[in-house]
Amino acid sequence: MSRTNIWLWSAAGVIYAFLYVPLVIVVLYSFNDSKLNAEWVGFTLSWYKTLFQNTEMLTAARNSLIIALSASFSATLLGTMAGLAIHRYKLKVLPILVFTPVAMPEILLGVSLLLFFLQVLNLTLGMVSIIIAHTTFCIGFVAIIVRARLQGMDESIFEAARDLGASPWQTFRLVTLPLIMPAVVAGALMSFTLSIDDFVITFFTKGVGEPILPIHIYTMIKVAVTPEVNAISTLLMLLTLVMIIIAARLESHASSSANATSRETG
C-alpha cells in the first residue's frame, strides 16, 4: 500500500460511511422500543407487528410499488426509444420535449399536470393519473442515460451488422439492445427510485381515498414519526437491494452474451 493508496482508501471510506451510516441507523432504530424514537431505549420487534396490522400503511406501500413498477416500465420503454431516436436523428424539438421535465421544478410539474388532467383530459384522479405523471418525469432520465451510452459507442458495429445482412429489427435485437442493456437497466432502476419516493408530484396528481407511501410518511412528521416508518423503510430497502442484485446479474449476463455474440460474429 503506497501513501496515495492509503489516502484514496480512507477518502472512499469516509464517503461511503457518509452515505451508508444514516441508512444503517434507520434500520437499527426500527427495532427501538420507544415511540418518539429520540435515542436508543431497548430492542423490540413490536414495530414490525404494528406495521403488519396497519392496513393503511401496507396499502400505501402496495400502491407505491404498483405505481413505481408501472411507471418505470413505461418510462424505460419510451425513454429508450427517445434516447435512440435523439441519438440517431438530428432532431430539434424532441430533445427539448424529453429533457424539459427533468429540469422543471417539481411543484410546477405537479400543478400543471393536475390542471391538465382535470381541465383538459377530464380524468378522474387515481392510480392511473399518478402513473402517467411519474412516467412523464422519468422518461427524460432514461433517455439521457441511454443516449449517453450510445454516444460512447462505435457506429461501425451497427453498420457491420447491416452489411452482414441483418434487418433493422435484427440489428436492434441482437446488437443494439444487448449493448445498451446496462443503460436501460440503470434507467429503469433510477425511474423506480424516483417514482417510489416522489412526494410533490404525487400529492397533486393523486385522487381521493388511495394512500400513497411517501405522502403517508411525510404527513406523519407533523405529529410524530413512529419507528413503524423505520420498519417499512427497512423492508423497502431490502426489496431495492434484491432488485439491484437482479439488475447486476442481468447486466453481467447481458455483457457476457454480447461479448460472446461479437466474438462469434467477428
Contact residues toward other proteins (CB under 8 A) are 34-39, 41, 66, 69-70, 73, 76, 111, 114-115, 118-119, 124-128, 166, 170, 173-174, 177-178, 181, 185, 188, 203-204, 206-211, 215-216, 218-224, 250-251, 253-254, 257-258, 261, 264-265
Distance (Å, rounded) from C-alpha 66 to C-alpha 241?
Answer: 17
Match 433517455 to its residue by C-alpha cell.
143
Using CA atoms of 222, 228, 230, 233 in order, give the dihedral in degrees to the nearest 10: -100
The C-alpha cell that represents 159 in the structure block: 453498420
The DSSP output letter for 154 is -
Measured from the CB atom, the residue of 99 and 129 that comes closer to other proteins is: 129
The C-alpha cell that represents 94 in the structure block: 424532441
Measured from the CB atom, the residue of 43 and 89 that comes closer to other proteins is: 43
Distance (Å, rounded) from C-alpha 179 to C-alpha 161?
Answer: 13
Question: Are 228 and 54 a contacting pair, CB within 8 Å?
Answer: yes
Measured from the CB atom, the residue of 97 and 241 that comes closer to other proteins is: 241
Smallest distance from other proteins to CB 127, Å: 5
CA of 145: how far to CAs of 2, 56, 92, 129, 148, in Å? 36, 36, 19, 25, 5
Distance (Å, rounded) from C-alpha 58 to C-alpha 1?
Answer: 50
Smallest distance from other proteins to CB 175, Å: 10
Smallest distance from other proteins to CB 99, Å: 24
Contacts of 112 (CB under 8 A, 6+ apart): none
Smallest distance from other proteins to CB 156, Å: 19
Euclidean distance between the first and the last CA atom of the chain, given in angstroms as a whole number: 41
Measured from the CB atom, the residue of 75 and 143 that comes closer to other proteins is: 75
CA of 3: how far to CAs of 6, 16, 229, in Å? 5, 20, 44
Measured from the CB atom, the residue of 99 and 194 that comes closer to other proteins is: 194
Smallest distance from other proteins to CB 30, Å: 16
Smallest distance from other proteins to CB 102, Å: 22
The C-alpha cell that represents 103 in the structure block: 429540469
Measured from the CB atom, the residue of 86 and 114 that comes closer to other proteins is: 114
The C-alpha cell that represents 104 in the structure block: 422543471
Measured from the CB atom, the residue of 8 and 41 that comes closer to other proteins is: 41
Smallest distance from other proteins to CB 155, Å: 20
